[in-house]
Amino acid sequence: MCGFCGFLTSDGDRDPAAMQDALGRMNDTIRHRGPDGDGEWVDAAAGVALGHRRLAIVDLSPLGRQPMASADGRWVIAYNGEIYNYRDLRAELEAAGHVFRGQSDTEVLVEMVAARGVAATARRLVGIFALALWDRAAQTLYLVRDQIGVKPLYWGRFGGTLLFGSQSKALRAHPAFRAAVDRDALAAYMRHNYVPAPHSIYRGVRKLEPGTILTVRPGAEPESETYWDLSAAVRDGIAGRLDLSDAEAAERLEALLMDAVGRQMVADVPLGAFLSGGIDSSTVVALMQAQSDRPVRTFTIGFAEAGFDEAAAARAVADHLGTDHTELRVEPRHALDVIPRLADWYDEPFADSSQIPTLLVSELTRRSVTVALSGDGGDELFAGYNRYFWGAGLWRRLGPLPAGLRAAGAAAIRALPPAGWDALFAPVPARLRPRLPGDKLHKLAGVLAAGGPDALYRGLITHWEAPDALVIGAREPRGLLWDDGVAARVPDFVERMQYLDTATYLPDDILAKVDRASMAVALEARVPLLDHRVVEFAWRLPMHQKIRDGRGKWLLRRVLDRHVPRDLVERPKMGFGVPIDSWLRGPLRDWAEALLDERRLRDDGLFDPAPIRARWAEHLSGRRNWQYLLWSVLMVQAWQDRWDTAPAAPSLTASAA
């Protein structure tokens, strides 16, 4: 739920009216995250200000309003998220004699901090959260982010002022903020299609990493402390594998997921779920329906274009479970309506094109409910991505071959264009045929000459292969994906890909996408598969209970078998994509051409125009499908139009006409 923002300044001028005005402008930028109310708290003498926008979920009364002070007056909190074990923590505090004023999880959280301290409280929390805590006695600010990184938190120092908030647009609204593009971060974005943490698109602004507490004391540099560590959970899981029969493992997993789902169904507002008809969302909905005395509200969207439509599968699962199902058929005009708003909601460049259907399904869902459960996380935890099989299988077969022979194989693949490979795969039954096989083969050809499995993985997740050359004056930061120590800590290649995806792609792409899309329409999205207890359990499972008979999510499928017939969900993985390739040649062509204009690219001074223009020409000709690479550039250009002073592009309405 909600969004928050604030600042801590050591500058000499702490005029209360000026601080209040700055906080108000910051808070207004995140109004969409919390339309049910706002709150502001300023201590001018201490130089601190906390703002909050409320999406009321639990305890809708004024007693749940933020910022909220502890009963003893020492602590003040502003926070975004939900604490799913707040009733357990409340009972513990009540047993110690504490008397509560209301029923909100916010009050439990701030009183737990008052009783146990920040770090001890963070380690006890089960939930999704980002929060700011001000200790009035010690004059110390704490920023805390949840274990997996479901909820966002940006922070940055500008002169003597530290700014923070749920989205970077809140920081921009403060007069101390200076907007300067971090070219190095932009280069990283061109590789990943998102800006990886701890970087942001702005120089001087950082994303607080998952499982972290940032402490800001008077006159001292901010200090970072990890209270929950994914790498430690992975290490402990590998060292302490569970020795359970398949039946026992399925029983344990179902009980854990049932508890996670049940806790996340607590809300004082209407609640539903996203349903694609795949393994992950179907499992979440099945466990919801098993604990509900009325039909669960489920929502899905479908596409007319072949290869992108999962609506029929979702409808079949909904019919079997008896949910109250709503479906929207997406047409190009729906996307045209959404695309101009993307730079508003994703207030730094973000180029996962599934942001479009995610926003559309969020809008559909918000018409009926305020909270929706999602199936995100199943692929990372239970080995569901195709690259785990393609990448590991490829390296197992081809890695021992001489590098020259692998290079020759790559050349042979590239000799046939993607469309040619698509035609060759056409006779293969749909249930066995991957989507866009030509693109996938050309992707693999680009990494066949890799020097090792980790280089192969980087190639599989890379979009622009030489981002330093593309972004003028940039030097791409090298993070976890280049850490040679990861292979020693996680020896198995598939598990290593899972770990790297969970540490990077999951929080910075998948969860960021869902947060911005859902919060754009004031919908809270919850992710029960990413309860950190589920994460820890999944890492203790041996690989044969994740991958068996060449398929991932083996144990998760067995849990779902207890609720949904296997033939309703067993089909090739589709993802949540949209036909950007054909839209760029059709209704989006004029819009894209204006943003990719060579003169504009040169005048902006961020990109070398030559490789971009070459790929645009190839895409328009139909010789190659460069949809993802082009989309990443388009999202930067659209972001510049919205947040800087780049020339405006033609309207999409005109393009569609």
The pLDDT score that the predictor gives to residue 392 is: 75
Residues designated as active site: 2
Give the single-character DSSP code of 509.
Answer: I
Angle at 441 between CA 435 and CA 446, to 5 degrees: 135
The pLDDT score that the predictor gives to residue 648 is: 40
The pLDDT score that the predictor gives to residue 656 is: 37
CATH topology of domain 3-228: Glutamine Phosphoribosylpyrophosphate, subunit 1, domain 1 (3.60.20)
DSSP string, 479-495: -GGG-THHHHHS-SHHH
Q: How confident is the model at residue 306 (pLDDT cuts 50, 70, 90)?
A: low
The pLDDT score that the predictor gives to residue 574 is: 54
Mean pLDDT of all residues in 374-388: 94
Query: Is a pLDDT exceeding 60 seen at residue 265?
Result: yes
DSSP strand E in 250-392: where?
271-274, 297-303, 324-330, 371-373
Domain positions in the chain are 3-228, 232-382+499-568, 386-494, 580-656
**501-546 pLDDT, tens digit each:** 999 999 999 999 999 999 999 999 999 999 999 999 999 999 999 9
> What CA–CA distance (Å, rounded) separates 651 from 33?
26
What does residue 433 show for φ and ψ, rounded to 5 degrees? -95, 125
Q: How confident is the model at residue 575 (pLDDT cuts 50, 70, 90)?
A: low
> What CA–CA distance (Å, rounded) separates 409 from 387?
19
* Six token digits for residue 68: 């909220």
Query: Within a 13 Å sphere around the CA of 20, how many CA atoms are in the beta-carbon half?
Result: 6
The pLDDT score that the predictor gives to residue 647 is: 41
> What CA–CA distance (Å, rounded) separates 285 from 260?
12
Mean pLDDT of all residues in 43-63: 93
232-382+499-568 in CATH: which number? 3.40.50.620
**207-263 pLDDT, tens digit each:** 999 999 999 998 889 999 999 999 999 999 999 999 999 999 999 999 999 999 999
Indicate the Cα dihedral angle 346, 349, 351, 355, nearest 10°: 0
Q: Are 181 and 160 in contact (CB under 8 A)?
A: no
> What CA–CA distance (Å, rounded) separates 510 from 502?
10
Mean pLDDT of all residues in 406-424: 79
Mean pLDDT of all residues in 298-316: 80
